[in-house]
Structure 1
Amino acid sequence: MNTLKTFRALSLIEGLSLVTLLFIALPLRNYFDINIVWPVGMTHGVLWLAYLVMSLAVSHKQKWSVLFWLVAVVLSVLPFGFLLLDARLKRELVLQAT
């Protein structure tokens, strides 16, 4: 299986978990007294740790620069940053296919 493709999928899932935490779970707790922050936050945390480990492996395999790897890590903690990284990963996958 292509590790870059797997990493791209993990990146999308992890990014969506952050968006869910920030824009669904936290407002539900603060405005409607529905607390799902712990399970959503724990899921996001586990996904982020998996993202971090896999990003190291993929960066080594793809021969990314340290700077690009750091950008990928920073984008993982910014809401919707995963979309910017996804565009880059998609281009990289297209280049690999040709």
Structure 2
Amino acid sequence: MTKLTLLFRITAVLEGLSYIILLFIAVPIKYLFEDPQYVKMLGMPHGLFFMAYIVLAVMVGADLKWNNKTLFIVLIASIIPFGTFYIDKKYLRNEHA
């Protein structure tokens, strides 16, 4: 596994965790208890992880010679809850580059 692929795997996990925490914890607290501080606190890190995920996905895709369909699936997974964990298991975990 290349260093780039390892970095992408770590970023994918962090992006996925930040998205889940934001979506299932921070946003309900914001609307149920009218307390937006958690969304404000988690929004920026999630945004940075999201952007890093997109950039690294394109770089890893070029490195691993993914076809357009695979790259599209990897990119779409970033907006689906738990999607980055699926990508890690399906496309990255067993990669021996």
The TM-score with structure 1 as length reference comes to 0.88
The alignment status of 1:46 with 2:48, answered yes or no, reads yes
Distance 2:52 2:86 in 1: 19
Structure 1 consecutive aligned stretches of length 4 or more whose deviation exceeds 4 Å: none
How far has the Cα of 1:77 moved from its partner? 0.5
Unaligned runs of 5+ in 2: none
Number of equivalences: 94
**% of aligned pairs identical?**
34
SS of the equivalent of 1:4 reads helix
Distance 2:44 2:70 in 1: 27
How far has the Cα of 1:19 moved from its partner? 0.4
How far has the Cα of 1:34 moved from its partner? 2.3
SS of the equivalent of 2:94 reads helix
Distance 2:81 2:19 in 1: 7
* Aligned position for 1:3: 4
| Matched residue type, 1:72 | V
Please, which moves more after superposition, 52-61 or 33-42?
33-42
| Matched residue type, 1:91 | N
How far has the Cα of 1:90 moved from its partner? 0.5
Unaligned runs of 5+ in 1: none
* Aligned position for 1:91: 94
